[in-house]
């Protein structure tokens, strides 16, 4: 029978505690990202139950990107841009890989940096890389738009002040309110 020193027992306990924290964090991210995806997929009457399983064939991933971007992703053998051919419908691994690749190619076309995420990672249901892909999509489509809106408001205020305009509080608030409402309508429409 092997005996452990006090330090080894303490390190072992800390390692178990750390593993539990990592596992708990992954569960929270999975639940949060699934809710975020379903919020957008409801617009096209789709639903994700298990994030890792339901993105594996690429169909929900393509639908999510279409909803977020407002674009129709190119289809395999889509020679005419107006002709909308269906996604790969087969159940073989090749079809799943092809659908996920369509989504990844679209993200790359929009200059979304994907670090070490390949179509087979998503098709195989890799939890870490699936969470990483969804986080990257959230950053690109949601957080960047909010930052863009803040930049727009900053430029508006900067231009207003730099033009030497007197700060008439009623006019300033009305103008800022108008700009804010336009921005909010854009954000609400997109999301």
What is the DSSP annotation of 9-30?
HHHHHHHHHHHHHHHHHHHHHH
- C-beta of residue 72 within 8 angstroms of C-beta of residue 66: yes
Considering the entire predicted model, what is its pTM?
Answer: 0.64
Residue 95, pLDDT score: 92
84-92 long-range CB contacts below 8 Å, 24 or more apart? Answer: 87/58, 87/59, 87/62, 88/58, 91/57
pLDDT at 171 over 90: no
Does the pLDDT at position 50 exceed 90? Answer: yes
Domains and CATH numbers, the chain: 6-190 (1.10.418.10)
> Any idea what the Cα angle at residue 169 is, between residues 167 and 172, rounded to 5°?
75
Tens-place pLDDT, residues 111-121: 999 989 999 99
Q: What is the pLDDT of residue 71?
A: 81
Q: How many CA atoms lie within 13 A of 146 on its CB side?
A: 6
CB atoms within 10 A of CB 2: 4
Alpha carbon distance 109, 99 (integer Å)? 16
Residue 160 structure tokens: 């207003």
Q: Tell me, what's the pLDDT at 11?
A: 65
Interval 70-74 mean pLDDT: 75
Of the listed ranges 3-12, 66-75, 110-119, 134-143, the one predicted with least confidence: 3-12
Q: What average pLDDT does the segment 110-138 reach?
A: 94
pLDDT surpassing 60 at residue 59: yes
Q: What is the pLDDT of residue 147?
A: 57
């Amino acid at each position: 029978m092997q005996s452990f020193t006090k330090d080894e027992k303490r390190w072992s306990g800390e390692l178990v505690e750390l593993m539990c924290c990592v596992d708990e964090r992954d569960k929270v991210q999975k639940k949060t990202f699934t809710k975020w995806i379903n919020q957008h997929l409801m617009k096209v009457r789709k639903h994700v139950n298990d994030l890792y399983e339901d993105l594996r064939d690429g169909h929900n991933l393509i639908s999510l990107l279409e909803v977020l971007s407002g674009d129709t992703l190119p289809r395999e053998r889509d020679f005419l841009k107006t002709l909308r051919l269906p996604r790969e419908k087969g159940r073989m691994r090749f079809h799943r890989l092809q659908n996920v690749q369509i989504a990844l190619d679209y993200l790359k076309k929009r200059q979304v940096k994907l670090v070490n995420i390949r179509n087979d990672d998503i098709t195989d249901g890799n939890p870490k890389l699936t969470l990483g892909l969804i986080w990257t999509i959230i950053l690109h489509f949601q957080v960047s738009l909010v930052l863009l809106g803040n930049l727009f408001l900053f430029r508006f205020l900067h231009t207003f002040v730099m033009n030497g305009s007197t700060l008439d509080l009623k006019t300033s608030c009305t103008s800022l309110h108008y700009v804010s409402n336009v921005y909010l309508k854009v954000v609400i429409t997109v999301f």
